[in-house]
């Protein structure tokens, strides 16, 4: 006797896509064991088998669209078992039962091989690196189904991760989203050591990086090859590491600097004969120190093991300086102990040294927080990359006059866009929003920096 198992009522969806086939022909399934996972534009769901038995024929495949009543598989029920809402149908006389032990083996089924000792890709205890199998092959199914929710399975698929290689930290070994993220971080971190154009060694663990595309651009037109500057060659790997290893989030805000800008202009006019020229960046640095003291997590670093937070009791602010050869980040030391004029002078001196390539190593060390200002160039917002081992960086874009409601009418105000990127392992969204709000308040009234 065999039973046809069909898609049950799946709600208000006419058709949904099969994104996982969790069994194969010859498998023994238990009642309520999930057999396929389907996905709509709103959610993923696993469809269980209503009764126990042996899968005789699989009628669905990956990517297929199914609806209520679509035949999923033909099941030979276990002895004494009967489906809850299906009537058994007699099998054709010629269709003799095929012993489970004689089920045909798929030629492309994964072959387990031990992971190389020097492989940079993480593998859960007891797991091995499977040989990659093409996604369209429905028989390449891991019979030891990882313990994870549909949302986690979908997340893993989007990142190209084989959950069979991910260790679960949740209850009863359940795989969580953080487990998948950590797996990806470790895998990509190992890939960073591979030269551009070559995949990382130890591939085949569910996250193989494709080779860098090779294109003969001369076929399409004239080309010219330029050597990257030394600064870009040095900073590129650091930026890559920081982007991959730090979970970046960026908080955007605006600060009303109308009064501050007027004060800056008036002060520069009064001190012109003394050669003092205050810049907006000097005011922003002082304002940042005020806010960093109130929110010390932004002036911290994670320990090497990632289990402790190192709070720094000094405030050294780095700033991104544009040079002909690329960006460098000089550092103003002890910003909390210096006045606006002294900070402005140091900014000018370090910027000039950066353009001339005369910065010393000590001039670019010891920063606790960094500011990247594009105000002199343009733009409305951007997502600056955190300068590890710091946990946050502030981006400044070009200020603009905007109509701002004052409670009774709109008035023109000079607004400075703020882009705060932060390490989500240390700082959450509420903290970041409080930080930018507080910073905007200090910039709107620098007297708050004296409190």
Residues annotated catalytic, as ranges? 424
For residues 323 and 326, give the distance between their C-alpha atoms in angstroms, rounded to a whole number: 5
For residues 280 and 264, give the distance between their C-alpha atoms in angstroms, rounded to a whole number: 7
Helix (H) or strand (E) holding 422: strand 410-423
Q: Answer yes or no: are the C-beta atoms of 300 and 391 closer than 8 Å.
A: yes
Q: Answer yes or no: are the C-beta atoms of 305 and 372 closer than 8 Å.
A: no
Q: Spell out the alpha helix ranges (H) of 198-270.
A: 230-245, 258-270
Q: Which residues make Cβ contacts (< 8 Å) with residue 9, sequence separation at least 6? A: 68
Cα 287 to Cα 180, 260, 284: the distances in Å are 39, 11, 5
**Tokens of residue 76, six digits:** 């030979």
Q: Which residues make Cβ contacts (< 8 Å) with residue 136, sequence separation at least 6? A: 62, 63
Q: What backbone phi and psi angles, to 5 degrees, belong to 410?
A: -85, 140
Q: Answer yes or no: are the C-beta atoms of 125 and 173 closer than 8 Å.
A: no
């Amino acid at each position: 006797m065999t039973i046809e198992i069909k898609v049950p009522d799946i709600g208000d969806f006419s058709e949904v896509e099969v994104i996982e086939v969790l069994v194969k022909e010859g498998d023994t399934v238990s009642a309520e064991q999930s057999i396929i996972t389907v996905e709509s534009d709103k959610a993923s769901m696993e469809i269980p088998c209503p009764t126990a038995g042996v899968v005789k024929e699989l009628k669905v495949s990956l990517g297929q669209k199914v609806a209520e009543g679509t035949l999923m598989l033909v099941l030979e029920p276990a002895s004494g078992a009967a489906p809850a809402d299906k009537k058994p149908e007699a099998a054709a006389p010629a269709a003799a039962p095929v012993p489970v032990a004689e089920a045909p083996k798929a030629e492309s089924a994964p072959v387990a091989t031990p992971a190389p000792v020097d492989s940079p890709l993480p593998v859960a205890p007891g797991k091995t690196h499977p040989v990659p199998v093409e996604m369209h092959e429905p028989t390449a199914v891991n019979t030891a189904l990882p313990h994870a929710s549909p949302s986690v399975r979908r997340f893993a698929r989007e990142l190209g991760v084989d959950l069979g290689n991910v260790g679960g930290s949740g209850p009863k070994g359940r795989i969580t989203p953080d487990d998948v993220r950590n797996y990806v971080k470790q895998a990509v971190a190992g890939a960073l050591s591979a030269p551009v154009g070559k995949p990382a060694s130890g591939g085949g663990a569910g996250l193989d990086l494709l080779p860098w595309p090779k294109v003969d651009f001369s076929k399409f037109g004239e080309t010219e090859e330029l050597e990257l500057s030394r600064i870009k060659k040095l900073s590129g790997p650091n930026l890559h590491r920081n982007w991959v290893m730090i979970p970046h989030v960026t908080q955007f805000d605006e600060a009303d600097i109308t009064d501050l800008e007027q004060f800056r202009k008036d002060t520069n006019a009064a001190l012109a004969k003394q050669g003092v020229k205050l810049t907006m960046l000097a005011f922003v640095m002082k304002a940042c120190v005020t806010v960093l003291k109130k929110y010390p997590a932004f002036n911290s670093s994670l320990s090497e093991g990632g289990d402790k937070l190192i709070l720094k009791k000094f405030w050294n602010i780095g700033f991104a300086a544009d040079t002909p050869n690329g960006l460098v980040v000089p550092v103003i030391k002890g910003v909390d102990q210096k006045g606006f004029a002294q900070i402005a002078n140091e900014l000018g001196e370090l910027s000039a040294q950066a353009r001339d390539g005369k910065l010393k190593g000590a001039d670019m060390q010891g920063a606790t927080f960094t500011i990247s200002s594009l105000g002199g160039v343009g733009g409305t917002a951007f997502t600056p990359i955190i300068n590890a081992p710091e946990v946050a960086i502030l981006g400044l874009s070009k200020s603009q006059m905007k109509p701002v409601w004052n409670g009774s009418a709109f008035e023109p105000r000079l607004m400075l866009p703020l882009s705060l990127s932060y390490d989500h392992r240390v700082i959450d969204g509420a903290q970041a929003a409080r930080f930018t709000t507080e910073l905007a308040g200090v910039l709107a009234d620098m007297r708050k920096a004296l409190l």
